[in-house]
Every structure is written in structure tokens, then in C-alpha cells.
């Protein structure tokens, strides 16, 4: 882990090569918008709101402002995943709870053209290590639809444990979908 000014940078090794996780920046807009546009249909079954509506500069500027506040408040740490100079996806630590919980939720996605190279696995590993060693959290949780075998495999490879199913957890494509809950503890 290193810092570039106010940006935390996490580095990891994937079978497809070294990756870096970097807080979203204004300079990332073109690559981010292009990757989201190219993967609209690929991501639609897994994400609550997949559209090209917010893929413009004013919306991205607002997104960056909201994300910066969440980082400053220690409530979330969003990361873009880069392989060299190429944006390949995102991995986000969200819903941070302090006090007696010391927990967070983890979400991630990789562009379809980059799957199978270990980028999700390496990103989840780096973000989880950041949660435990950098943020001092005790628990990291991830939710995945039960038909998303690839994502379950990523979590299992990083020693996340299946804990149960949350019924009707998220509305995906207008339908409330169940999600399997996986978690990892700092003591695991």
C-alpha cells in the first residue's frame, strides 16, 4: 500500500500481471465511461442499476465529489483497478461501520474482456488486506447472487466463508434477488 497525495494505492500480483487499485480520479473519466459502456449488458445481470445514463462528465464529477467525502468520513474506499495504464474494473470497500462492528462490505467488477486473468481475485485480496491492516477492521462481507459461480470462486479463493442467503437483498433489473453472503474475519 502506498499513497499518491490523497490517493491510496494498493498493488497486487495477478496471473495476468501486476495491478494497482487507485481511488477514482478525474483523469480516469474517459477510460471509466468507455469500460462501463462496453460492459453494460455484461454487468446488467449482476448490478442494481446498469445504464449509460450517468456516463457523462457532470455525473462523474458529482460521483467523484461524493466518493471523496465518503473517504474523508472513513465510510467507503472506492478503487479503480488498473493493469498498467489500462482500467480493467473496480473494487469498492463500502458501508464501513466502526464501534463494536468494525466491518465493511466489498463489491467488485471486471470488464468482460479482462476476465480469467486473476484481476478480481488479486483485487479482492488487496482490498481485504487493506481493510484488516490499513483500516483495522475485523470483518469484510461480500454478497453474490447464487448463480454467479465466477464471483463465488473469487471469494472462496480468498478464504471468504459462505454464511447464508439474504432473501430479496437487492433489486436487479426490476426484480428483488437473493444473494449469498460470504465473509472473512481478520482472525481467519
Asked if residue 97 has pLDDT above 70, the reply is: yes
Predicted local distance difference test score (pLDDT) of residue 55: 87
Domain of 170, CATH number, reads 3.40.630.30
Residues 13-44: tens digit of each pLDDT: 888 889 999 999 999 999 999 999 999 999 88
Which of these, 118, 34, 131, lies nearest to 79 by C-alpha position? Answer: 131
**pTM, entire model:** 0.91
Q: By residue range, what is the domain housing residue 62?
A: 2-185
| Mean pLDDT across 75-99 | 96
User: Of all residues in the chain, what percent carry a pLDDT higher than 90?
Assistant: 78
122 falls in which pLDDT band (50, 70, 90)? very high
3-state secondary structure the chain: CEEECCEEEEEEEECCEEEEEECCCHHHHHHHHHHHHHCHHHHCCCCCCCCCCCCCHHHHHHHHHHHHHHHHCCCCEEEEEEECCEEEEEEEEEEEECCCCCEEEEEEEECHHHCCCCHHHHHHHHHHHHHHHHCCCCEEEEEECCCCHHHHHHHHHCCCEEEEEEEEEEEECCEEEEEEEEEEECCC
Residues 107-117: tens digit of each pLDDT: 999 999 999 99
Give how many domains the chain has, as a whole number. 1
Amino acid at each position: 500500500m502506498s499513497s499518491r497525495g490523497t490517493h491510496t494505492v494498493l498493488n497486487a500480483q495477478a496471473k495476468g500481471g501486476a495491478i494497482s487499485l487507485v481511488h477514482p480520479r478525474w483523469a480516469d473519466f474517459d477510460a471509466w465511461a468507455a469500460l462501463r459502456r462496453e460492459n453494460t449488458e455484461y454487468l446488467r445481470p449482476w448490478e442494481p442499476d446498469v445504464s449509460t445514463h450517468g456516463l457523462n462528465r457532470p455525473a462523474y464529477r458529482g460521483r467523484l465529489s461524493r466518493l471523496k467525502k465518503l473517504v474523508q468520513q472513513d465510510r467507503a474506499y472506492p478503487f479503480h483497478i488498473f493493469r498498467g495504464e489500462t482500467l480493467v474494473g473496480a473494487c469498492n470497500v463500502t458501508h464501513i461501520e466502526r464501534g463494536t462492528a468494525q466491518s465493511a462490505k466489498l463489491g467488485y467488477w471486471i470488464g468482460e474482456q479482462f476476465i480469467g486473468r486473476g484481476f478480481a481475485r488479486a483485487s479482492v485480496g488487496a482490498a481485504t488486506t487493506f481493510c484488516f491492516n490499513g483500516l483495522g477492521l475485523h470483518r469484510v462481507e461480500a454478497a453474490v447472487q447464487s448463480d454467479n459461480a465466477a464471483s463465488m470462486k473469487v471469494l472462496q479463493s480468498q478464504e471468504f466463508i459462505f454464511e447464508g442467503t439474504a432473501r430479496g437483498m437487492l433489486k436487479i433489473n426490476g426484480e428483488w434477488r437473493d444473494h449469498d453472503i460470504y465473509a472473512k474475519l481478520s482472525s481467519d
